[in-house]
Chains A and B, each alone.
Chain A
Amino acid sequence: MVRFFDGESASRMEELDLRKLSRPLVKTHLLEVLGGGNDLTTQTVGDVFSHRGVKTEQIDDTLYLAVDRKLGEIGFIEQLSPRLVALYSMEESKSLGPWVRNLVNRSPEIDHVWLSGTTFEVLWDQVVRLTRPERFSQLAFTHDSYFTIDKPYSRDEEDSDDTEDEGDDQDESETPVEEDRQLIRERRSTSFKLVDRVGEIESKLENLQQIYAPFYAISQLRFPSPVGRGGHDFYDNGKVTNRSQNFRDHRLHVLYVVRVYQQLLVATEQKAWYSISESVGVPGTFQRIVGAPVVIRFQEPLPSDVFDYWVAMTFNRKINKFRLWGHPIRLGPSKVHVYGVDRHLWQPLFLELTRSGCTAIIPNGTCGNTVHRLVTNIQRYLDPAAKAFVGDMEYRALVVESARGVPYDADAA
């Protein structure tokens, strides 16, 4: 697989230089499989995908060929850790993206890897440490104040099972919008790329963030390749595009981010999981509540109409941006409690939502991915500068701690 993709990567880079791409670039989709209270002792990765209509042919202990009944061969699935897999594919983005999204949407055992703006900030620090300042990199920023009403909210929208505008989730970088069809939006909607030298970006980014909050909502980051031109573009939904000529280098970067994410998942769960545990060694003697709340604070309180729309659009719709279910208990005009469920992973989650932020209680067994999806989506749709805490620890510090000690397998650029 590695040799095959290596050859393809070199060819694609040559074609990119000539601006004549004959086949799509190699792309990776990072996915979490199972997690939480489940494990893979009874089901292999192949079983999980097979149950969701993806035929898998096992090639070796950790590698599978993925075949869709209609589309044929999709790519290779590699199990990188007990919970995280990579799907490597050369399908075009416009078909692979929806295919992965549909797979995740219909599979409670499979979720995207969620890289929040805060996680990208920490990864950016690694790019700065390991790359010469004159190398070029690319950052994308995506923030859509989705819950800011630019049309009157109608109660008719409640309980609607309509799917949301999937276009919002698409990787717009690869699907140029026709000028004539662009929607008129009168709400903050930021989506832009910044390509510049690493040193230049590093010297300006913090100032830019302080001036304009959407600069916190990093949704894509390019790790420059240390072995040639180009690099590896990581997106917030776990997609990674290889824009280098070396697939082995691409895979090494994927492995690095997977290791950081794996540590982040475990650290989040260790700190945040609420459970009743034995106080002393004798089973059944005393029960204590252990765990820590996850708190997300907005930089500025949300306007009342945005808060109401957020609550309504999240809990009155089956399909919503946060993939949550619950019947909110109103505790006032700007406070609700939801003893709800992460509808994607089918795990319980208790939330207090106010105009100033969100407090979450994560019962034992609820996957850490739920927290990272929550943080990512809050930065993307509500407040790009929101700060998250897991117990006493700032979320950013948790990411830094997770990244510390993970080997970054790249030579000096």
Chain B
Amino acid sequence: MPTPHDMIRDPVFQLNAMVWLAQPCHELESITPIFYDAGFTIYAVEPLLPIPVEVRLKADEAGVAIQKGVCPELVLHSEAESKFLYIECKANSFGAESSTSNQARGLLVCAGPRAADILGLDPSQISSSMACYCLPEEHREALCGTLTSLTEELKGVGISSGPSSAIGIEVGSASLDLRISTPAKKFLELAAGEIEFMKLDGENDPRPLYFVPYIPGEDQSNQEMLYCRRVLFERMHGSVLVAVGRSKRNTKTVFKSDEVLNDAMFGVYRLWDNPASKKHIKKQYNKFFAALRDAVGKIVPGAVSFKDGEGWAVAVGDADNQERVVDAIARFRCGTLDLGDDAQGDFFDGA
């Protein structure tokens, strides 16, 4: 089991924690939904935000590197106050000279006066916006320094940007705590800068249920990556079982990888615009189905098949055959899959 210190560095954990903080529920056992309490709900997950052409031209003229589009993990919105908060999760801080700063410059522009254009809204729909990084507390001060430098740099070349801030996550004695820099604290109208947001009970892993189990290309430890892949496989497994369980007798259910993966990732998969990431995840999809075919084939030969141009399919016959196919799929265990190059973690042990 990873320690809480490992966990707070993991961007997938950070993203899912941020999503839970915006959930409309006060009865959660271990999470205090501070964003929801502050009036913020989720406006967008991993939206692709294009940077205005004239900004890119100005940056190019000045020799300042800026991404042509940015994709923050989360955009929160306060409908009552027309505020937007862009959240980007990171394992570490970065300097103004690093390649990551190209993205940060873009995010600062998104929070600036062009926010309405970038989000495609009427200017009256935005009163203010802010770029905010979420990262381990020990890197928060350093990152705030970087954000100040980048803001100055943009100002120096005549590019307007918006306010920025950072939220640090740290491990407290009995909780995971947020330390929120003053600008974000004011933006969210929070009374306290330090908030216990997730209880630690000392015996259980604090991870919440994951809405988004996978972010391509993120800096994850091997153990975290294996956990995320396990969740992804479990979700795919469930999707296949649902489809076959509900299928009519004597039919073949053909699975489209985009649909299964989109289903497994709460619709986030289709937002990815990185072909390499999509290729990687499709490899996992094929690996899952190949293992499923082998396992089910031992009980109902030929039930799971692959055909070029069609993809993976599950065929069921009469009622008895369908029940045997469903049972065979249900008995298959993702935990038996070789999910990575390294040894499997203890979360494959099941209940």
User: A-side interface residues toward B, CB under 8 Å?
Assistant: 108, 159, 161, 274-276, 279-280, 282, 285-290, 292-293, 295, 297, 308, 311-312, 315-316, 318, 325-337, 339-341, 343, 346-348, 350-352, 354, 356-357, 359, 361, 363, 387, 389, 391-392
Bound form: Cα–Cα A256–B46 in Å: 46
Q: Which residues on the B side are within 8 Å of A287 (C-beta)?
A: 44-47, 267-268, 271
* Given A276-B268, A297-B29, A348-B238, CB of A337 within 8 Å of CB of B44: no
Which among B93-101, B207-215, B310-318 touches the partner chain? Answer: B207-215
Bound form: Cα–Cα A395–B145 in Å: 47
* Given A288-B45, A346-B245, A354-B204, CB of A326 within 8 Å of CB of B29: no
Q: Which residues on the A side are within 8 Å of B211 (C-beta)?
A: 274, 289, 361
Bound form: Cα–Cα A363–B203 in Å: 29
Q: Which residues on the B side are within 8 Å of A352 (C-beta)?
A: 208-209
The 8 A-B residue pairs with the shortest CB-CB distance, nearest first, are A332-B204, A276-B267, A346-B245, A286-B44, A328-B351, A331-B205, A335-B204, A339-B234
B246 touches A332 (CB 8 A): no
Q: Which residues on the A side are within 8 Å of B330 (C-beta)?
A: 318, 325, 343
Which residue on chain A has the smallest CB distance to residue B346? Answer: A330
B351 touches A312 (CB 8 A): yes
Q: Which residues on the B side are within 8 Å of A289 (C-beta)?
A: 19, 42, 45, 211, 266
B9 interface residue, CB < 8 Å from A? no
Min CB distance A181 to B, Å, is 33
B28 touches A331 (CB 8 A): no
* Given A326-B234, A333-B203, A339-B235, CB of A392 within 8 Å of CB of B26: yes
Q: Which residues on the A side are within 8 Å of B208 (C-beta)?
A: 352
Min CB distance A110 to B, Å, is 13
Bound form: Cα–Cα A337–B204 in Å: 12
Contact of B350 among A286, A297, A327, A350 (CB under 8 A): A327
B121 interface residue, CB < 8 Å from A? yes
B295 interface residue, CB < 8 Å from A? no
Q: Which residues on the B side are within 8 Å of A350 (C-beta)?
A: 209
Min CB distance A222 to B, Å, is 32
Q: Which residues on the A side are within 8 Å of B327 (C-beta)?
A: 161, 318
Min CB distance A309 to B, Å, is 11
A288 touches B29 (CB 8 A): no
Bound form: Cα–Cα A354–B201 in Å: 11
A334 touches B204 (CB 8 A): yes
Which residue on chain B has the smallest CB distance to residue A335? Answer: B204
Min CB distance A18 to B, Å, is 47
Bound form: Cα–Cα A316–B208 in Å: 23
User: B-side interface residues toward A, CB under 8 Å?
Assistant: 1, 19, 23-29, 41-47, 75, 77, 119-121, 201, 203-205, 207-209, 211, 230-231, 234-235, 237-239, 241-242, 245-246, 266-268, 271, 327, 330-331, 333-335, 346-347, 349-351
**30 contacting pairs across A/B (C-beta < 8 A):** A108-B246, A276-B267, A276-B268, A279-B47, A282-B120, A286-B75, A288-B44, A289-B211, A290-B42, A292-B23, A292-B25, A293-B25, A295-B25, A325-B241, A327-B351, A330-B347, A330-B350, A335-B205, A336-B351, A337-B207, A337-B231, A339-B234, A339-B235, A339-B237, A341-B241, A354-B29, A359-B29, A361-B209, A391-B24, A391-B25
Contact of B28 among A295, A316, A318 (CB under 8 A): A295
Bound form: Cα–Cα A387–B27 in Å: 10
A331 touches B207 (CB 8 A): yes
A288 touches B351 (CB 8 A): no
A339 touches B350 (CB 8 A): no
Which residue on chain B has the smallest CB distance to residue A314? Answer: B351
A331 touches B347 (CB 8 A): yes
Which residue on chain A has the smallest CB distance to residue B204? Answer: A332
Q: Which residues on the A side are within 8 Å of B333 (C-beta)?
A: 327
Which residue on chain A has the smallest CB distance to residue B26? Answer: A392
A392 touches B351 (CB 8 A): no
A347 touches B242 (CB 8 A): yes
* Given A339-B234, A389-B25, CB of A288 within 8 Å of CB of B347: no
Bound form: Cα–Cα A289–B77 in Å: 12
Min CB distance B275 to A, Å, is 18
Which residue on chain A has the smallest CB distance to residue B334? Answer: A327
Bound form: Cα–Cα A292–B26 in Å: 11
Which residue on chain A has the smallest CB distance to residue B248? Answer: A51
Bound form: Cα–Cα A316–B327 in Å: 12
Contact of B23 among A286, A293, A315 (CB under 8 A): A293
Q: Which residues on the A side are within 8 Å of B239 (C-beta)?
A: 348
Min CB distance A200 to B, Å, is 34
* Given A276-B266, A315-B351, A327-B333, CB of A332 within 8 Å of CB of B25: no
* Given A331-B204, A331-B205, CB of A274 within 8 Å of CB of B266: yes
B42 touches A329 (CB 8 A): no
B29 touches A356 (CB 8 A): yes
* Given A280-B120, A293-B28, A339-B235, CB of A330 within 8 Å of CB of B266: no
Min CB distance B70 to A, Å, is 13
Min CB distance A50 to B, Å, is 13
Which residue on chain B has the smallest CB distance to residue A275? Answer: B267
Q: Which residues on the A side are within 8 Å of B204 (C-beta)?
A: 331-335, 354
B350 touches A280 (CB 8 A): no
Q: Which residues on the A side are within 8 Å of B347 (C-beta)?
A: 329-331
